[in-house]
Structure 1
Amino acid sequence: MATPESEPLTSRRALREHFTVPPGIRESLPKRGVADVVVHETADPEVIVAEFAYEFTLPDDSRSKVPCVFVMRVRDGQIIESRDYIDPIRTYTARGDLDRLLASLRKGVS
């Protein structure tokens, strides 16, 4: 469910870089929060399924929710594996950035 240019994030450093927004850019991005969190336990005590929604607020104060599911393996209080399922079309639309998604999709078309 990732965009064509997305690469898996396989280290703490990669995750930190992915979620760190430079201060000069931060103000121009929509605000993002988390809502509707539900955590499901599984038969494997290390694995949980987390359902939630990212809630975006655009500069014009319009709001949008994007449902997400994360399947995580937690050991000794640390996330050691995570598979994240988020609809990229709804995410880019909610962020007001659909043109960027379309451009990335066009790169893969010959």
Structure 2
Amino acid sequence: MTPEEVFRKLVHGVAAGQYAGLPELYAEQTDVRHPMHPERPEPLRSRAELRAHFGGGQDAEPDPLVRFEAVDIVVHRTEDPEVVVGEFAYAGTVAGSDESFHVPCVFVLRVRDGQIVESRDYVDHAAMAKARRRIAEITREPAAGDDAS
């Protein structure tokens, strides 16, 4: 697959909850970073770490709170044939409401021999967590009703 094809398969797979095949898009040894994540997690360095990141390599059950898709996709090729910059947004709706969300993202991928060897995923994690009603998970704030003692 070309770098652009890998990028598109990744973002559409995430949006569809098709996590089982996503680790195979990455090289066995890789370097995946989420520079905008509030907790500044360690880089993901292997396919095994990515499998855990994607929920153990199982497809996700449909999220009862949100439905979203990757939209407004623009892929920029660079002078380096292995590197693409993908701009897009995850856009969707919150179940049981008229509330919609639009989370802009930029992924910078280095793809070698059809596999991601390096990625910088710039996502507004707080906006995505808020849409999914999981803001407490990424900010370590007690959820409503939790005992703060």
With normalisation by structure 2, the TM-score equals 0.58
Is the contact between residue 42 and residue 48 of structure 1 (CA under 8 Å) also seen in structure 2?
yes
1:71 is displaced (CA, Å) by 0.4
Match of 2:91 in 1: 55
* Equivalences, count: 104
Query: Which runs of at least 4 in structure 1 moved beyond 6 Å after TM superposition?
Result: 21-25
Matches for 1:23-42 after TM superposition, within 5 Å: 26-42=62-78
Match of 1:72 in 2: 109
Q: Confirm whether residue 9 of structure 1 aligns to residue 50 of structure 2.
A: no
RMSD over aligned Cα, in angstroms? 2.6
1:26 is displaced (CA, Å) by 4.6
Moved more, 80-89 or 5-14: 5-14
Percent of matched pairs sharing the same residue? 45
Which residue, 45, 61, 72 being the options, matches 2:81?
45
Distance 1:39 1:24 in 2: 26
Q: Confirm whether residue 93 of structure 1 aligns to residue 130 of structure 2.
A: yes
Is the contact between residue 39 and residue 139 of structure 2 (CA under 8 Å) also seen in structure 1?
no
Unaligned runs of 5+ in 1: 105-110
1:80 is displaced (CA, Å) by 1.0
Distance 1:7 1:26 in 2: 28
What amino acid is the match of 2:80? Answer: D
Distance 2:113 2:37 in 1: 29
Distance 1:53 1:23 in 2: 21
Match of 2:121 in 1: 84
1:4-49 superposed Cα distances (whole Å, 9 cap, x missing partner): 1633222122222222377896544523321111100011111110
Is the contact between residue 38 and residue 139 of structure 2 (CA under 8 Å) also seen in structure 1?
no
